[in-house]
Amino acid sequence: MELVWEYIVRGVMGVFFDANGAFDIIPMAMVFSGLMLGIVVGATPGLNGPFAMALSLPILISVFGVSNEALLPILGFLIGLMKGGTIGGAVPAILFNTPGTPDAFLTTLDGYPMAQKGQGLKALKISHFSSACGDTFSDIVLFLTAPVLAVLIENVLDLPEKSALIILSLSFMAAVAGKSPIKGLIIGILGMFLALMGSTLSGNGARLTLGIDALGNGLPLTSAVIGVLVIGEVFLALEDTARDRLSKLKAAVILPEGDNSFGLKDIRQIMPRICTSAAIGTMVGALPGIGTTLAATLGYDAAKRLSKHPEKFGTGLPEGVAATEAANSAVSGANLIPVMSLGIPGNFAAVFLILAVESVGDFTLGPSVFRFTAIKEIADYGTIINKDLVVAFGIFTLMVMGNFFNWTVGWWLMRSLGILARIPKTIMMPVVLLITLTAVYVQDGGFIAIWVVLAFGAMGYVLRRLEISILPFVIGFILAPKLEELIRGGYSASGGDALFLLKSPLAVFFMFTAILIVVFVSRQSAGKSESRNR
């Protein structure tokens, strides 16, 4: 226990002090500015947390470099963005009936009626309080479960089981992320296929590079992911704006002033809803592939069901706002459970944290991080320590700091953001496009990055138009190399047994569940569309 404590202390110290023991304000400042920017971004319709994370990552890398010291400031900023994004979304949802982020859609149901009654400020206070509660709860769950889960996994799972577990999470993601599990599966496999490009472990040279040497290490990861996520969205928005050039943004309504007090009585009223929603959001966050939007839906639904007066939901009920916001904010935090314990990203925010870790320093996420190596000082040699574990606790510290800033100053920013809902897309999208192209050019080594980002952008556009979720595509693309390494390893470590995946009961169970999930969910969705057609 003493050892655990020692690691925690070193992790915390690593955030506040640099290698020479001098006080270092940068990581803290980065969390703060990330959180502030995240709230602003969340409050801007058309932008969201992961979007901003995508744009910032290459810029952060060009500012801080790729050394190990750069990791905490960069992650601090990204974590701030991740947290801020879900909070800010509520602002325009409440004030203008326009959700700033998709997961704030349900906030409009009760938030906007409250604003119409003159309680806009109160709704904002409720939403901030609930968000902060949900987020804090989720972080605490992460701190407690990730290390335990990681140690468990590292001790129980061997190569075949680890491979099977990745296959299971991919199929789960394909099944739940979009409307059609089969489409999700196909697109996930396409993502995995594109990841085959580049060098293999065989040492026989690069494969599938179309003769382009610069693709020898595969498609540049960050450019590809940013392409699908950001550029695809930009293309879509540009098309939409071209189409509805004539439609004007809603004129701002001047809202009446009502009772905007928020005290203990209110907290007592909404607290039960916050608790259920925080638990739901945390659970959803821990599972790969289900996003914040579903968490918000489930949280709102549960609040309605548990309420004594469900018919009042949608008329401006504080519980409604609290339930949605606590649920969607509780996702960030818990979404790092699969990342920290397995190295599997479950949503876009997690994807960008993984990308940051892969591009900067030699820290790797995954179960091997939580190894409590005895700390020893050896003369003329240095300290023996598991540095990765110290970094992991440093990351936890950054998250706690994010929560602290959110509780203390998040509110002040939130109440002054109403204006952002009115930035037209015709201005914002070209700016986003310009920043993206410049940023990937700098990070991923020149023009090859530009071509990749545009090609993947076109792909992202097509997928969105076909209403296929892009999450399985991105996660498939990111996890394929890891899966290949595990399968190759499992095969050769078994002495070349082609059936190695089916020799361990646990692996068979994972594989079977993977198939079952897809079959079950596609039947369900087929049933739904049938009943719709009737």
Q: How far is the CB of 31 from other proteins (least distance, A)?
A: 22
- In the list 240, 244, 362, 467, the residue contacting other proteins (rule: CB under 8 A) is 362
Note whether 499 binds other proteins by CB under 8 A: no
Instruction: Give the nearer residue to other proteins in terms of CB position, either 21 or 205.
Output: 205
Which 433-452 residues touch other proteins, going by CB under 8 A? 445
Note whether 493 binds other proteins by CB under 8 A: yes
How big is the CA angle at 223 (ends 465 and 179), to the nearest 5 degrees? 30
- In the list 1, 19, 210, 374, the residue contacting other proteins (rule: CB under 8 A) is 374
Note whether 63 binds other proteins by CB under 8 A: no
Which residues are within 8 A (CB) of 45 and not within 5 positions of it... i.e. 6 or more apart?
92, 98, 99, 100, 421
Amino acid identity of 34? Answer: G
Rounded to whole angstroms, the Cα distance separating 338 from 514 reads: 17
Instruction: Give the nearer residue to other proteins in terms of CB position, either 300 or 370.
Output: 370
Rounded to whole angstroms, the Cα distance separating 301 from 295 reads: 10
Instruction: From residue 199, give the alpha-carbon distance in Å to each of 59, 227, 480.
Output: 27, 22, 13
Note whether 6 binds other proteins by CB under 8 A: no
- Say if CB 289 and CB 176 are below 8 A apart: yes
Q: How far is the CB of 258 from other proteins (least distance, A)?
A: 55
DSSP state string for 54-72: HHHHHHHHHHH-SSGGGHH
Nearest alpha-carbon partner for 345 in 183, 221, 513, 453: 221
Rounded to whole angstroms, the Cα distance separating 534 from 532 reads: 5
- In the list 12, 66, 238, 450, the residue contacting other proteins (rule: CB under 8 A) is 66
**Across the strands, what pairs with 378?**
382
Note whether 492 binds other proteins by CB under 8 A: yes
Note whether 62 binds other proteins by CB under 8 A: no
Q: How far is the CB of 364 from other proteins (least distance, A)?
A: 7
Note whether 367 binds other proteins by CB under 8 A: yes
Instruction: Give the nearer residue to other proteins in terms of CB position, either 205 or 263.
Output: 205
Q: How far is the CB of 158 from other proteins (least distance, A)?
A: 7
Q: At how many degrees (to 10) do helices 71-88 and 120-156 cross?
A: 130
SS (H, E, C) 303-320: HHHHCCCHHHCCCCCHHH
Q: How far is the CB of 162 from other proteins (least distance, A)?
A: 8
- Per-residue x/- track, 190-209, other proteins (CB under 8 A): --------xx-xxxxxx---
Instruction: Please identify, among the stretches 85-93, 287-295, 405-413, 482-490, the one whose residues bind other proteins according to the rule CB under 8 A.
Output: 482-490
Note whether 301 binds other proteins by CB under 8 A: no
Return the SS3 of 382.
Answer: strand
Which 21-60 residues touch other proteins, going by CB under 8 A? none
Nearest alpha-carbon partner for 262 in 411, 434, 368, 382: 411
Which 308-337 residues touch other proteins, going by CB under 8 A? none
Note whether 488 binds other proteins by CB under 8 A: yes
Q: How far is the CB of 208 from other proteins (least distance, A)?
A: 13
Rounded to whole angstroms, the Cα distance separating 115 from 130 reads: 17
Instruction: Give the nearer residue to other proteins in terms of CB position, either 131 or 443.
Output: 443
- In the list 6, 266, 301, 485, the residue contacting other proteins (rule: CB under 8 A) is 485
Which 376-395 residues touch other proteins, going by CB under 8 A? 376, 378, 381, 384-385
Instruction: Please identify, among the stretches 39-47, 51-59, 210-218, 344-352, the one whose residues bind other proteins according to the rule CB under 8 A.
Output: 210-218
Instruction: Give the nearer residue to other proteins in terms of CB position, either 239 or 362.
Output: 362
For other proteins, how many residues bind (rule: CB under 8 A)?
44
SS (H, E, C) 277-303: HHHHHHHHHHCCCCCHHHHHHHHHHHH
Instruction: Give the nearer residue to other proteins in terms of CB position, either 290 or 355.
Output: 355
Q: How far is the CB of 68 from other proteins (least distance, A)?
A: 6
Instruction: Give the nearer residue to other proteins in terms of CB position, either 338 or 361.
Output: 361
Rounded to whole angstroms, the Cα distance separating 359 from 224 reads: 14
Instruction: Give the nearer residue to other proteins in terms of CB position, either 348 or 370.
Output: 370
Backbone phi, psi, residue 216, to 5°: -55, -30
Which 216-255 residues touch other proteins, going by CB under 8 A? 216-218
Amino acid identity of 9? Answer: V
Q: Which residues of 473-486 are buried (b: 16+ CB within 10 A; e: fewer)?
A: bbbbbbbbbbbbeb
Q: At how many degrees (to 10) do helices 318-334 and 105-116 cross?
A: 150
Cα dihedral 118→124→127→132 (10° resolution): -160
Rounded to whole angstroms, the Cα distance separating 367 from 390 reads: 14
Rounded to whole angstroms, the Cα distance separating 228 from 143 reads: 31
Note whether 147 binds other proteins by CB under 8 A: no
Residues that bind other proteins (CB under 8 A): 66-68, 154-155, 158-159, 198-199, 201-206, 213-214, 216-218, 359-364, 367-368, 371, 373-374, 376, 378, 381, 384-385, 445, 485, 488-489, 492-495
